[in-house]
Amino acid sequence: MASAVIAGILGGLLGIGGGVVIMPVLRFLFGISTPFAAGTTVLAVFFTSLSGGYKHFKLGHVDIKSLGPIMLAGAISTTLFSFIFLMIARRPLWLEFGVGCVFLFIAVRMLGEGILGVKQKQELNNNSISARRVTKLCVGFISGMFPGLFGIGTGAILVPAFNYCLNSPIKVAIGSSLICFAANAFISSIFKFLQGYMLLDKAIILCAGTTIGAYAGARLNKGFPPRLLKLLFGLTFLYVSLKYICLLWGIKI
């Protein structure tokens, strides 16, 4: 429960989807295989995203109408990659390698922002996303890929996509990414359940913890400086990524 609450706080605070914390906890602390960890995690990601996204919506950071093309492309992408997941799940070492690469990207991005203090768009004149439709469709397709294939939200990828590609202020980027995650994770959860890769007993506990944590994280987002947190978790995710990647060669670290 404690790890789920922490995951939820991170999801609401940084817009990283809490699955990046839950996934390695299930895999390395509880010894659950990666396919089942992915299926169980994505349900918790849904509740994390829904709770955090709702709070951001109440704070005025989300314009549902402007998210239409993004959510449509995300739904299609999630469905497609949920079928691909079923094929890769039979080769768990390659699934673990893919998860490790995603974590490596997250680690590099967090460490880079924590060390360099990367500036993000902070203006919040309105909450709409005015980018071209084709750009929205591309970002939406990417947003559905990771919940469908790996069971995680990867806000560390989608938030900067909203921030820079769609010219969204950072709080709009975080709130909007959480709403998109919620829709995509819901679709992915249905597929993972039907495919038999979800442990409902653990998922219920995770959902309760992440829902509480995500609501608190969204409130902290209002004035919390995330730079030090990104440094600490960047180092943690770097270690986690190496653990996943080294499993392909039978090396445990």
Confidence (pLDDT) at 16: 59
Range of the domain at 21: 2-249
Query: What number of residues does the chain have?
Result: 253
Cα 186 from chain centre: 13
CA distance 5 to 209: 4
**Is 148:184 a contact under the CB 8 Å cutoff?**
yes
CA distance 27 to 24: 5
**Burial 40-73, CB ≥16 within 10 A → b, else e:** bbbbbbbbbbbbbbbbbbebebbbeebbebbbbb
In total, how many domains does the chain have? 1
Which pLDDT tens digit goes with each residue over 145-191? Answer: 989 998 887 666 777 788 778 877 777 888 888 888 889 999 999 99
Please state, rounded to an integer, the average pLDDT across all residues of the chain. Answer: 80
Confidence (pLDDT) at 126: 61
Residues 6 or more apart in contact with residue 29 via CB below 8 angstroms: 3
Residues 47, 226, 213: CA angle, nearest 5 degrees: 25
Confidence (pLDDT) at 210: 67
Per DSSP, the residues of 202-231 read HHHHHHHHHHHHHHHHHHHTTT---HHHHH
Which tops the pLDDT comparison, 123 or 243? 243
Which pLDDT tens digit goes with each residue over 37-81? Answer: 999 989 878 877 887 788 888 888 787 888 889 999 999 999 999
Element containing residue 101 per DSSP (H, E): helix 92-116
**Is 204:9 a contact under the CB 8 Å cutoff?**
no
CA distance 146 to 141: 10
